Homo-oligomer: A and B are copies of this chain.
């Protein structure tokens, strides 16, 4: 095995380190965030830093980079308080990745990459029509992370749109049945295969597989 210490990591070329550290944390949820600005221009951007905060209430966070002039997604979320998160499937992975290009404000990534904006009642932000698992959030709090000037943006799930047939009896969602993707590093996308579900683990008893 190779070993690297603090000094070696700090000495790496910037893009090498970004690729390495982004892969080191393991597979990530990767989704498209849909927003709209105060004059009605839709925006779509790929994010891979989504993290489950809690289920009751249903709170979901994502890490936003240090704010620069180019943070259209965050500016829109702050302006409207509403955003959507849409799973990415293998059928439109290239279009999803293309949303990471730095388009000017006022340009719709939906149109540029060839995905379809769709609106549902009471939700101002656009969903991705092609996505089989999508939900809208109401902004709750933006927590600054002073260590590196990033932000933890937390929203509450207020609306869910999903294929009924992938929901198990106990609420578990079989994401593999609609080919939801995960990502690794900053530019790679993976399909998945279910290995096992396990029962709630208890000391002294080997937990059994479900089904």
Listed in ascending order, the chain A residues whose CB lies under 8 Å from chain B are: 1-6, 9-10, 12, 14-31, 48-61, 63, 87, 90, 93-94, 97-104, 107, 112, 120, 132-133, 135, 140-141, 143, 145-148, 150, 152, 154, 157-164, 167-168, 170-173, 175-176, 180-182, 184-185, 187-207, 210
Q: Are B93 and A170 in contact (CB under 8 A)?
A: no
Q: What is the CA–CA distance of A152 and B24 in the complex, to the nearest angstrom?
A: 19
Q: What is the CA–CA distance of A55 and B22 in the complex, to the nearest angstrom?
A: 7
Q: Are A195 and B171 in contact (CB under 8 A)?
A: no
Q: Are B154 and A145 in contact (CB under 8 A)?
A: yes
Q: What is the CA–CA distance of A182 and B163 in the complex, to the nearest angstrom?
A: 22
- List B contacts of A187 (CB < 8 A): 172, 197-200, 210
Question: What's the number of copies of this chain in the assembled complex?
Answer: 2
Of the A-B pairs whose beta carbons lie under 8 Å apart in the complex, a sample of 12, sorted by A's number, is A2-B164, A3-B120, A5-B158, A23-B171, A24-B135, A25-B29, A26-B133, A49-B52, A93-B195, A101-B203, A104-B203, A175-B184
Q: What is the CA–CA distance of A143 and B58 in the complex, to the nearest angstrom?
A: 19
Partner of A49, one of B5, B51, B112: B51
- List B contacts of A5 (CB < 8 A): 158-159
Q: Are B102 and A203 in contact (CB under 8 A)?
A: yes
- List B contacts of A175 (CB < 8 A): 23, 26-27, 184
Q: What is the CA–CA distance of A10 and B157 in the complex, to the nearest angstrom?
A: 10
Partner of A2, one of B112, B150, B167, B181: B167
- List B contacts of A158 (CB < 8 A): 5-6
Q: Are B157 and A147 in contact (CB under 8 A)?
A: no
Whether A31 contacts B24 in the complex (CB less than 8 A), given A143-B145, A158-B6, A192-B192, comes out as no
Q: Are B195 and A184 in contact (CB under 8 A)?
A: no
Interface centre among A6, A52, A103, A195 (most CB of B within 10 A): A52
20 extra interchain contacts, Cβ-Cβ under 8 A, other than A94-B207, A141-B145?
A: A1-B132, A1-B163, A2-B160, A2-B163, A4-B159, A9-B58, A12-B171, A18-B55, A18-B171, A20-B173, A24-B160, A94-B206, A99-B201, A100-B201, A101-B205, A143-B143, A172-B185, A189-B196, A191-B195, A192-B192
